[in-house]
Amino acid sequence: MLLSAATIAARVRELGQEISAAYPTGDLLLLGTLKGSFIFLADLVRAIDRPLHVDFLGTSSYGSGTVSSGAVTLTYTPSVSVLGYHVLLVEDVVDSGRTLQQLIPLLRRDSPRSLEVCTLLHKRIAVPRTPSVRFVGFDIPNDFVVGYGLDHAEAYRHLPYIGCL
């Protein structure tokens, strides 16, 4: 076990407070990346003390492997326009940074009021040109992790904690 359910819950509450303070006004849209962020996003939404909107982006780069293929495929697009919103892209884990390198320019084209990234887990191995991540739950080692929504070949998402595979 890398992170217990209690440790995760406490940090998500803190992130909710940080995000609430960072966005006191304006329309806030949390865009969760499917499927890995869905549990984190659900808990984070309940920890943010202000009105907000929620939508999703679907991405895939792992398939059934434990190493990213390097090719990010967009599998689902948001149903709302990001125009004029403070957009917070919610990721499960940032590792290579390739997903962010592809999503950030795509979202910026639609003229959000602001665009930031929140990730539950950050491996700090991304290449230097990766966009910055404003809100980070935990820095973790470069291990393949599962649980709390993260999977390996669609298994282990149900675990209430995060563990190394």
Q: Which residues are catalytic?
A: 95
Beta-bridged to residue 155, according to DSSP, are 152
Coil vs helix vs strand at 40: helix
Cβ atoms within 10 Å, residue 82: 23
- Residue type, position 57, single letter: L
Please give the backbone phi and psi of residue 5, each rounded to the nearest 5 degrees, phi first: -60, -40
Please give the backbone phi and psi of residue 54, each rounded to the nearest 5 degrees, phi first: -130, 140
Q: How many residues can be counted in the chain? A: 165
CB 148 within 8 Å of CB 8: yes
- CA–CA distance from 13 to each of 2, 27, 163 (Å)? 19, 21, 20
Q: Of 91, 105, 86, which Cα lies nearest the Cα of 136?
A: 91
